[in-house]
Chains A and B, each alone.
Chain A
Amino acid sequence: MTTPPTTFDGRAWRPCLACLAGALGLLAVVAASFAYLSVSWGGLVSGESMRLMGRFVTEFFPPDLSGSFLARTAEASLQTLAVSSIGTLLAALVAMPLALPASGRFGRLGRAASRLLLNVLRSVPELVWATLMVLAAGLGPMAGTLALAVHTAGVLGRLFGETLENLPPTAERALREAGAGPVVAFGYANLPLAAPQWLGYALYRWEMNIRMAAVLGFVGAGGLGQMLYFHLSLFQQAQAMTVLLAMFVLVVGVDAASGWLRQRLAPARS
């Protein structure tokens, strides 16, 4: 004798008014959004524009694989990789001291102030930071590095602080009660406990940042992004395709490296 499936509970089906109202509301909002944008959607899918789109797309293939262009693409890839790596590293170094007040070690005022700073840093998107940094540091990859560092510091600072807050206090308390000072107690008790999680967060952000580093070039921060912007502006789709492929390879490579590093340095306890 098999038991009946658990989804049927035997009650008569009653229309859920709240759900209905919610669904209608959602549809209304979506429709209003499309309407507000006053894009001529009809014109977009007309035969003429479809043909133009089709031609636009085919111009991407085959990608430009000539030796000299590949060399330039490789150079730009290394630059993008460097920007994402140094940016993430800087961010982690800045986030660690910010995480201490953010976890409440220096009182409520310190916590509120540091959290406010971290929130501002991470709310502003990397691209906006990059635009600002280009003005400060000039065109080129350093602007991208600084932009990533500043934004990611906000993200990592909050994550690091939350890790510290969630640590069990027994280890540090035992050391303090045995006469150790606050710095030393932190280093011997909290740091070893927090370090694996911190490392995991930083490596995860590195994976995110390689995608962002490619994009920051759009506003002049060098690397693959700047190349892509340049060639697309000149409607050189074949070159742009090569750059897009390089971006893809870079992202896959960094994802793999990050996973390997996480395995080696912070393996999950069995």
Chain B
Amino acid sequence: MTTALASPSSALARDPAWSARVGGFIAFGVVMWPLLAWSEFRPWLLFDLQSLAAMRGFLAGFLPPSTAPDFLALLARSTLETLAMATAGMALAFVLAAPLAFVATRALSISRIGPGPGVWRAIIVRQSARFMLTVLRAVPEVVWALVLVRALGLGPGAGVLALGIAYGGLLGKVYSEILESTDTQPARALLEAGSGRLAALLYGLVPGAAQELASYTVYRWECAVRASVVMGFVGAGGLGQLMDQSMKMLNGGEASAILLTFLALVLLADGISAALRRALA
């Protein structure tokens, strides 16, 4: 039995992928060089004797964590303030996001059925809502917090507002995506039967999407807790502001106590969030 299979090609060339790989490597180097320069990346500086001594001194100050009673009371108050900031900020974000998502979602568009009259007006309204959501989302909440602290003064008010704005955009975008990705048949059927958009939302979309909407909201609350601490660094109160002050006074003991509290808080929020999401499922 002869094997009538293809014979090997003559004179093997080089690996065809080689030049592309070399090119990619060179391109990588060409891009890396200026990036390293701009970021002033000099890791050897970390190991010079002076900064090592400074680091050692600072780290030594971290232990033991401060346990002075009046500091602990302040710590407890700040923790509650952070939690309150996160919750209030999420409430504000929801108030902002829900109507925007309602306007922005295509699943509730009456003019798309047909298409009927007012298609262009509806499109403009929807796209403006989407644009608003994008703008709100584009700026990180910390930046909002920085600006609002300048406007409103130090304290959690700026943080709540910043969370509300930034997370409002985020929640709105995700809400409209969830609403559009669930089964839109019931809502459409209601719209075709002449019901109003709000009724179609409440009876048609929300029952199917409720679990996912709630689950994402709880997840965002957990993120809001972390974000509230971060915003505190720019003056929005809570654990973050406390830690910023302690670090500026180079009080390592207080800083480590706050850090440990923060880790515990994150763990707690994580646990609450997981429990709530399980309960909703």
Residue B186 interfacial (CB < 8 Å)? yes
B9-17, B111-119, B136-144, B168-176 - the one binding chain A: B136-144
* One of B39, B88, B186, B259 near A141 (C-beta < 8 A): B39
Chain A residues lying within 8 Å of B193, measured Cβ to Cβ, are: 5
A123 and B266 within 8 A (CB): yes
B55 and A82 within 8 A (CB): no
* Contact pattern, A 111-124, Cβ under 8 Å of B = 1, otherwise 0: 00000000010011
* One of A78, A86, A135, A232 near B147 (C-beta < 8 A): A232
Shortest CB distance B157–A (Å): 4
Tell me what chain B mostly uses at the interface: helix, strand, loop, or mixed: helix
A135 and B58 within 8 A (CB): yes
Tell me what chain A mostly uses at the interface: helix, strand, loop, or mixed: helix
- Known contacts A5-B190, A37-B81, A228-B146: does B138 contact A85 (CB below 8 Å)? no
Q: How far is the CA of A221 from the CA of B218 in the complex (A)?
A: 32
B64-72, B98-106, B124-132, B229-237 - the one binding chain A: B229-237
Q: How many residues of A contact B (CB 8 A)?
A: 59
- Known contacts A5-B190, A128-B243: does B234 contact A218 (CB below 8 Å)? yes
Closest 5 CB pairs of A and B: A82-B39, A82-B38, A33-B84, A33-B87, A39-B157
Which A residues have a C-beta under 8 Å from some C-beta of B?
5-7, 29-30, 32-34, 36-37, 39, 41, 44, 49, 52-53, 56, 78-79, 81-83, 85-86, 120, 123-128, 131, 135-138, 140-142, 144-145, 211-212, 214-215, 218-219, 222, 228-229, 232-233, 235, 240, 244, 247-248, 251-252
Which B residues have a C-beta under 8 Å from some C-beta of A?
34-43, 45-46, 51, 54-55, 58, 80-81, 83-85, 87-88, 91, 138-140, 142-143, 146-147, 150-152, 155-157, 160, 185-186, 189-190, 193, 203-204, 207, 226, 229-230, 233-234, 240, 243-244, 247, 259, 262-263, 266
